[in-house]
Amino acid sequence: METAAKPRVLIVGAGLGGLALGILLERAQIPFEIFERTSTIKPLGSALSVGPNLIPFLEQIMPIEDFFNASKPMTDVRSFDEQRQFVFSSDFSPIEELTGYKQHIISRPVLYDLLLRQIPAHKVHLNKRVLDIGENDKDDKVFLRTSDNGYYEGDILIGADGAYSAVRQRLYESLKQKGQISKADLGDLPFKCTCLVGQTDELDVEEFPQLKEPICQFWSTLGEDRPFSWVTFTTPQGKICWMVIQHLSREQSKAAEGERFRGMDNSEWGPIAAQSMCDATRRFPIPGGNGTLTMGDLYDRTPKNLISKVMLEEKVFETWHSGRVALLGDACHKLNPSAGQGAVTAIHDAIALANLIYSLESTSRSAIHRIFTLYKAERYPIVQEAFKSSEFLSKRIERSLTGLLARWMSRYTPLWLWKIMLAKSVKHRPTASFLPPVEVRGSVRPEVQLSGILAEEAFRRRQQYQQQHQSEQSAQSI
C-alpha cells in the first residue's frame, strides 16, 4: 500500500469546536486553515464544567497540569433561595471513583486560550466573513468566498461557526433548491431563555471569602417571584464567573426574537441591551460575603466589554452534511447550557471528525461522503441524549410545575440511582486514536466508537507501511 492522500480541510469558525478540530489535524499533520469572521478574538462567556468526558482528550494535546492549574475541582452544585439560605446540593464527587478524574470548573476564556495556544497563529485567519460556499466540479474541490474577496479551495469544508452558522445557511439554501431538506431544518431556532454572562476582575478575597476555598463554589439561586435564576462560579484566578438567566414566556420569546434581529451581532444584542439587563437584575442577592452581596457587586467589578447578553437556543438539526461539507457543534446542535454540555458535544464532534478524516485513504467525494455519514450516525444519538439531559436540567431552574418536579427529583434521588445516572453520563470519553493513548482510569470503562476504531486501524496500517518501507530502504543501502 501507499501512504494515504491527506485532504486539505477548511474550518469556518474559531470557537472551541473549530479549535479542537484544528489542533487534532495539526497533530495528524493534515493541512488545514481556520477562518473566523471577527477581526479580533475576544472570547466571552462565563465558566465551563470540564470533567472525564474531556480531560483525556486534553491530556493528549497539552501538558495537563496547564489545565489543572487554570481550573478548580468541583464536588457539588449548591442551590440557594433568595434569602441566601441553602436548599440542597447535587453531589458530583462520585465521578472521581467512576473515572479517575474530578469534575473541574474553568473560565471559558481561559480554556479558549489554552486551546488557541496549540495552533500555529498563521493557520487562523481573522476578519473572514463567509459569503458563499460550494463545490467546484471541474477540480473536484469545495470552496468558500469571504467578504474581503478571498477565495479558498480544499477537499473538506467544516462549518463550526455557531448557532447562526453561515455555512449551514448556505448549505441549506443549496439543498432547498434541490428539494433535499426538511421544513424542520429550515425553521427558526427556538429559545425560551435569554442570558447575561461575564467574569469579574480579580477580587478581594476578604470581601469574597468563597474564593479562598480550593474547591469551586458553584452556587445557584432561583428567583422566587420573578422568572430569573442566577449562578456564580469561583476560579483559581481569583475571579467569579457568573450567569443570569431570564426564563421567557411564549410571548416574550417572540418579542425577544424581534429584538435580537435588530441587534448588533448574531449572538449578542449589543451593549445597551446588556446594560439594561444588568440594571434590572443588579439587586439580585448572592450567597457569600457578609450576607449583603448582590449581582450588582459582580457587575461593578466586571469589565463592560466582557459582559454579553445571549440567547439560549435549543435545537438539533437533522441535516449535518452534504457532499464535501459538514457541520460541527452549535452549527448542527444547540443545547441549553444548564447541563454544561454545549462545549463538550462540540469538542466530541471534533474528535470524531478528526478520527474519521485521519482514516481516509482517498480524498474522493464518495470517500468523504462515507465518513460524514458515519460521523452523523455516531454522533446524532449521543447528541440527542445530551439534548434531553440539558432540557431536563434546565427545568430545575424554572418557576413552573415541571421545574418544581425536576427540583424534587434532584433533591430526593437515592444515592444508588444518582450513581447509576453519573456512571451513564461518563461513559462517553472519546480521544484521538492516532495519538498516544491515555491510561483508562476508574471503574467505568469508556465506550468504544467506530470513528476511533477506524482511526486506530489506519494508524496501524501506516505504521506497518513505514516500517516496511524503512526495511526496504535499509536492504537497498547494504
pLDDT number for residue 289: 83
Q: What is the mean pLDDT of the chain?
A: 89
DSSP state letters, 259-289: HHHTSSSSS--HHHHHHHHHHHHTT-B-SST
CATH of domain 45-107+193-313: 3.30.9.30
Asked if pLDDT for residue 396 goes beyond 70, the answer is: no
Q: Where is average pLDDT lowest: 8-22, 62-76, 198-212, 401-415?
A: 401-415
**Confidence bin at 267 (pLDDT 50/70/90):** very low
Mean pLDDT on 57-85? 96
Are the CB atoms for 345 and 383 separated by under 8 Å? yes
Task: Express each pLDDT in 457-470 by its tens digit.
Answer: 999 999 998 888 78
pLDDT number for residue 264: 39
pLDDT number for residue 346: 96
β-pair type (32-35, 76-80): unpaired
**HEC letters along 352-385:** HHHHHHHHCCCCCHHHHHHHHHHHHHHHHHHHHH
Q: Where is average pLDDT lowest: 6-10, 194-198, 268-272, 434-438?
A: 268-272
**Confidence bin at 4 (pLDDT 50/70/90):** low
Asked if pLDDT for residue 269 goes beyond 60, the answer is: no
**Confidence bin at 394 (pLDDT 50/70/90):** low
**Higher per-residue confidence, 262 vs 404:** 404
The yes or no reply on domain 9-41+126-188+317-412+448-456 and CATH 3.50.50.60 is: yes
Asked if pLDDT for residue 401 goes beyond 70, the answer is: no
**Confidence bin at 307 (pLDDT 50/70/90):** very high
Mean pLDDT on 143-151? 96
Task: Express each pLDDT in 15-70 by its tens digit.
Answer: 999 999 999 999 999 999 999 999 887 767 889 999 999 999 999 999 999 999 99
Mean pLDDT on 372-376? 98
Asked if pLDDT for residue 364 goes beyond 60, the answer is: yes
Q: What is the DSSP letter of 340?
A: S
Asked if pLDDT for residue 268 goes beyond 50, the answer is: no
Structural domain boundaries in the chain: 9-41+126-188+317-412+448-456, 45-107+193-313
pLDDT number for residue 374: 98
pLDDT number for residue 411: 72
Asked if pLDDT for residue 1 goes beyond 60, the answer is: no
**Confidence bin at 404 (pLDDT 50/70/90):** low
- What burial class does residue 286 get, using C-beta atoms within 10 Å of its C-beta: 0-12 exposed, 13-18 middle, 19+ buried? buried
Calpha distance 8→157 (Å, rounded): 9
pLDDT > 70: what percent of the chain?
89
Q: Tell how far CA 403 is from the center of its chain.
A: 25
pLDDT number for residue 266: 41
pLDDT number for residue 134: 95
From residue 433, how far is each of 20, 34, 232, 382 by CA, in Å? 15, 23, 36, 19
pTM (two decimals): 0.92
Three cell numbers, residue 314: 435549543
pLDDT number for residue 263: 44
* Region class of 238: left (phi > 0), else alpha (psi between -120 and 50), else beta: left
Q: List, in order, residues 6 or more apart from 148 with CB less than 8 Å away.
A: 127, 128, 129
